[in-house]
Amino acid sequence: MRTGAKSALPLAFSTRADWEALALRYWAAARPHLAARPGRWAMAYHPAGYSLDGAEMEGWSRHLWALVPLLVGGSRFADAEQLTEGLAAGVDPERPSYWGRFGDYDQRMVECAVIGAALRMCPEVFWEPLPERSRQQVADFLNQINQHEPVNNNWLFFRVLVNCGLRHVGVPVDEGLQSATLDRIESFVVEGTPWHSDGPAGRMDYYNPTGFHFYGLLYSMWEGERDPERAARLRERAFAFAPVFLRWFDRHGAAIPYGRSLTYRFAQGAFWSALAWAGDGPYSHGQLKGLLGRHMRWWQERPIHLPGGTLSRGYGYPQDAMTETYNAVGSPGWGFKVFWALALPEGHPFWSAAEEPLPEDAVPAAQPAARMLFSRDRGKNHAVAVCAGQAPGRAAWMRHFEEKYAKFAYSSQLAFSVPVARGDWTNLAPDSTLLMRCAGGGWIVRGVTTDFTHGDDWVRSTWSIDERNRIETTLFLRTGTQTRHHVFQLEDEWEVIEGGFAVPLTGGAVPAGESGESDGARTLSVHGGDWCSRLVIGEGAGLLEAAALGPGSHLLFPLAQLPVRRATLGPGRHEWTTVVEAEYRKGN
């Protein structure tokens, strides 16, 4: 296929040619933005909290996550010389494309990682054609990552990948620093589990599969002979993580959105791609091919592209409200890591294997390291996680921490929402959480939790609003149905809102539903698209009503609605039980 070729036809993702075609579509869409200066993506606007040099380097470099494996797997790529030229221009201090000097915790460290992978995987494009002067400039630029401190989390792997690439092309590497960096990464492993804490903060999210385990598989394949003990350990840990991560996917290929950096979208599937490339893992070629194919088909059915074909910022549609302060225009290209399986050549049995259905789950639903509990509905139409809350503190730089880490539930098909405005509570993302307001104050939402405990089908934690008011919540999950039991210990009077799952709102108004004082169990169902969201009051006071979320707040539905439970609780002890269900109405 010629570079720049583009088809409006949907791809089946059943052959290597399908994957190559999409990788080249993204490159063709990017080329107009790369024309002004080699090695840079020209920014129409720059919304991220780091330098323009870093953002424009990012827009160029992230395409290499797709193009490097494409080249390694044997594809003919007419623009290979442009990649060589982009690298040479970016590292040359005398050229206008120069990416610049950087210091500690700099975004350019992130973008150096794939250049290290490029040197390690295809030096015939990224090293051998360069004159000696340019080679020295590549080495000098990349070595900055050894002279400055990365963020103390998954960023440490960026240094590791850079040094693997430099060593492979004959540039001397500080082996002591490399070993110490790998040891620090090992210190993040949660003992007795395949999980890593993403640094001292304690978050466990997609940076495990798309970061730690993805890079660990690369290291294990590259350095198995030089560092066999560590390589084997990283490989075995990634294999052990696979059945854990399987719980995050439904039969349609959608994954549960949870945590930060969700604008990277199909990076969620990158782990399966690296697992296919590494080989000999816990799943067959057909099972991995099914996981990847369903995932990419699901994403390509979403309106996630801008005119011209580049990826928008957002999740299920262009939506800046949910992005991070470190998401620039080119940032969604981190998702191109999903193309890593293209490193397998055309004749590899992975490409001829038939897709197999979602493998049966091989681990208990409880994932205590992440303080989460997982299940699917009976048709496996959506995967659900209930969450006791994560992280000992709120990161000041993170947008919407409470919504991304502390809601009661997250769904592969029904996602969650983030706040879009002040004032009316419907703009404050009340789905799958508690909103509370003390007399004369503003609304607050469940945030940092403590006192985590769990069983096989329940998790429990405490949200302390202040020293006077706290709520202990136990979440039960059985075959997709949640039961929430709250014990309120209050010293003040509070208005309380509890939300169920949100579903699409397509008619422009919220349909009327049951509501009224709850003497016993009362039910409210809200219908939207193929889904029905239901709340049942089992214990405690409250009114049920349907409400529309603020436009553009939900990650998948630009307009969404949900059932909520409302009450005013006075000082004292109160117990609530709420049953939450989401029913898929389309045929199985």
Taking residues 107-113, what's their average pLDDT? 98
| Residue 378 pLDDT level (bands cut at 50, 70, 90) | confident
DSSP code at position 474:
E
| Residue 286 pLDDT level (bands cut at 50, 70, 90) | very high
Taking residues 573-580, what's their average pLDDT? 96
Of 34-38, 67-71, 97-101, 177-181, the one with minimum mean pLDDT is 34-38
Whether 471 shows a pLDDT value over 50: the answer reads yes
- Domain borders along the chain are 16-352, 366-584
Please name which of 413, 439, 437 lies closest in space to residue 425, comparing C-alpha atoms: 437
How does the average pLDDT of the chain come out, rounded?
93
Query: What distance in Å separates the CA atoms of residue 275 and residue 579, rounded to the nearest whole number?
Result: 38
Q: What token pair was written down for 162?
A: 């850079």
Query: What distance in Å separates the CA atoms of residue 528 and residue 576, rounded to the nearest whole number?
Result: 27
Which is more confidently placed, 399 or 577? Answer: 577
Share of the chain above pLDDT 70, in %: 94
Confidence at residue 5, expressed as pLDDT on a 0 to 100 scale: 34
Taking residues 140-151, what's their average pLDDT? 98
Confidence at residue 392, expressed as pLDDT on a 0 to 100 scale: 59
Confidence at residue 511, expressed as pLDDT on a 0 to 100 scale: 55
Confidence at residue 391, expressed as pLDDT on a 0 to 100 scale: 63
pTM over 0.85: yes
Confidence at residue 361, expressed as pLDDT on a 0 to 100 scale: 77
Q: What is the CATH number of domain 366-584?
A: 2.70.98
Confidence at residue 390, expressed as pLDDT on a 0 to 100 scale: 81
Confidence at residue 224, expressed as pLDDT on a 0 to 100 scale: 96
Of 9-18, 237-246, 323-332, the one with minimum mean pLDDT is 9-18
The CATH-assigned architecture of domain 16-352 is Alpha/alpha barrel (1.50)
Taking residues 353-380, what's their average pLDDT? 88
Query: What distance in Å separates the CA atoms of residue 445 and residue 449, rounded to the nearest whole number?
Result: 12
pLDDT tens track for 8-60: 568 999 999 999 999 999 999 999 999 889 999 998 889 999 999 999 999 99
Torsion of CA 194, 199, 205, 210, to 10 degrees: -80
Share of the chain above pLDDT 90, in %: 86
Whether 518 shows a pLDDT value over 70: the answer reads no
> Which residue bears the tokens 């409470």?
402
